Amino acid sequence: MTLIFQPKTAQPLRPGVVVSGRVRPHVRRTLLKRRLRELVRLHGVLLPSGGSLVILYRGDPARPFEALHRDYLRMLGSLSRCCPA
């Protein structure tokens, strides 16, 4: 999982989720996207206030939600250190 953040103070935060097309079948890819969007929804307060945030996922499609959650929080911590909210 990779977080890409482009700060823009004039715009509200625009989150986006990208899952590799190699994740087959499409039902599994859609499930991963929903799970990643849920993480953004749950932790929206911790995100920077303006700009674009893209979550790029190329990992194991069978990864449990708890593991995705742990990785997301770890990456969000490193993002908040370099780009405070």
Q: Considering the domain boundaries, does residue 73 fall inside one?
A: yes
In a domain, 57, yes or no: yes
pTM for the complete prediction? 0.86
Q: What CATH number is attached to the domain comprising 36?
A: 3.30.230.10
Would 85 be classed as within a structural domain? no
Q: Is 84 exposed, middle or buried (0-12, 13-18, 19+ CB in 10 A)?
A: exposed
Angle between helices 65-82 and 26-42 (to 10 degrees): 50
Q: Count of domains in the chain?
A: 1
What is the model's pLDDT at position 26? 92
Determine the Cα–Cα distance for residues 65 and 44; give it in Å rounded to an integer: 17
Query: Other CB atoms closer than 10 Å to residue 71's CB: what's the count?
Result: 16
Q: Which domain holds residue 46?
A: 2-78
Query: Taking 70 as the threshold, does the pLDDT of residue 28 lie above it?
Result: yes
Which residue from 54, 55, 71 is spatially nearest to 63, judged by alpha carbons? 71
Q: Is residue 83 part of a domain?
A: no
Whether the predicted pLDDT of 85 surpasses 90: no
